[in-house]
Amino acid sequence: MKPDTIVLIHGFWVTPRSWEHWITRYQSQGFRVLAPAYPGFEVEVEALNEDPTPIEELTVPSIIASLEKLIDGLGTQPILMGHSAGGVFTQILLDHGYGRAGVALNSAPTEGVATLPLSQVKAAFPVLKNPANRHKAVGFTYDQWRYAFTNT
């Protein structure tokens, strides 16, 4: 049976809003498209910027459990598409037997893969150098983000 549903899994530091144009594209092709929020991310980006507590309290097991619960309720195995951390979650879900097929876009490395571009370490240093930031959600400045993720 051909999958009729696509589940889009966003990365860390973003919300399902990051998929808005993808949703439209795949819906226009006849797919049912779901872009679930991580637990606590059911609000707009501006609300998370104001109160980053949901980001600080988020755990990978809670994300995986919420996605597995969503998929269990679908009735058929969907196509999973994840970006960044969502790519890792796509791989984990496939390993757990969820999803008919999976696509990982610019996936973060999975556990045990020790690859981190120097540009990302350099860009994150202003956040990482302060021990008081441990277990806190600390945003990048635009220049830090641009350097880390576009390397320009």
Instruction: Verify that 99 and 123 share a domain, yes or no.
Output: no
> Given this model, what pLDDT does residue 152 score?
47
Tokens encoding 130: 């302060």
Domain that holds residue 9: 5-113
pLDDT value, residue 45? 82
Confidence (pTM) = 0.74
Regarding whether 123 and 84 lie in a shared domain, the answer is no
CATH code of the domain covering residue 38: 3.40.50.1820
State the total domains in the chain: 2
Per-residue pLDDT of the chain (152 residues; tens, 9 = 90+): 677 999 999 998 788 999 999 999 999 999 999 999 999 888 888 888 888 888 888 899 999 999 999 999 998 999 999 999 999 999 999 999 999 999 999 887 766 666 666 666 666 666 667 777 777 776 667 776 666 556 54
Residues 44, 92, single domain; the answer is yes
pLDDT confidence of residue 14: 84
Q: What confidence score (pLDDT) does residue 63 get?
A: 96
Per-residue model confidence (pLDDT) at position 121: 67
